[in-house]
Amino acid sequence: MHEIRAEIPANVWQVIVDEGQLVAEGDEIVILESMKMEIPVATEVPGVVREIHVEPNTAVQAGDLIALIDES
């Protein structure tokens, strides 16, 4: 499993994918908002989204788990 984690403290503005969805390397998973800037968070590996750990209008801190991608 590949973990996608927040790199900065931010608010979750939009969750783009659903659990069970197939994603390619570079696909956006969520869009964060910090200081009125949109920050896309993309996967570095292709696979299936197994778990999403955030929802819109919630806050994340640096290092918080956003999603798990199954590479198999």
Q: pLDDT tens digits, residue range 27-71?
A: 999 999 999 999 999 999 999 999 999 999 999 999 999 999 999
In a 10 Å sphere around its CB, with 0-12 CB exposed, 13-18 middle and 19+ buried, how is residue 6 labelled? buried
pLDDT at 4 over 80: yes
pLDDT at 72 over 90: no
In whole angstroms, give the CA distance from residue 53 to residue 3: 11
pLDDT at 30: 98
Could you tell me the pTM of the whole model? Answer: 0.87
CATH T-level assignment (fold) for domain 2-70: OB fold (Dihydrolipoamide Acetyltransferase, E2P) (2.40.50)
pLDDT at 9 over 90: yes
- Could you identify the residue written with the tokens 């910090």? 34
